[in-house]
Structure 1
Amino acid sequence: HPIHLHGHNFAVVKGAGNSTANFVNPVWRDTVDLGNAGDNVTIRFVTDNPGPWLLHCHVDFHLLDGFAAVMAEARNE
């Protein structure tokens, strides 16, 4: 599943299939693949763009089936 976040780029701290995190020099993307069953991914991004942002699978029929979430980012007040 290629997962895409609108409104931000993010650091891929731990990619699918990796056992260690890379906080020092991670790659930056706006889409990351979740890998195989049992894998997990860790991302990190700066919340500097207030608004509702879609996080979704880029496989169209998965998106149509609801594989998506809205992340509501508030202003820093």
Structure 2
Amino acid sequence: MNKERFSTLISILRQRLDLSQERLAAQLGVSFQTINRWENQRVSPSPNAVRLIKQRLIQMGAEGEDLLAKYFWDETR
């Protein structure tokens, strides 16, 4: 997943969950700086980061289904 798509996904996810960068970071077990760098497209996500976000979307159930379909659609083919 490229930086731009991941940035958009993180931003939407935070808004949907009504979380600050700090709180999302705590939930995912990463630093605030990591979330900030993802959102501001300073770094590309690692495969582990992508996996963490995908797991979080799965945990959200119906609320995360549209984001899974939009951002991880190629993994379901």
Q: Same fold (TM over 0.5)?
A: no
Higher relative contact order (CA 8 A, sep 6+): 1
**Larger strand proportion of the pair:** 1
**Larger helix proportion of the pair:** 2
**Larger Cα-atom Rg:** 1
TM-score, normalised relative to structure 2: 0.25
TM-score, normalised relative to structure 1: 0.25
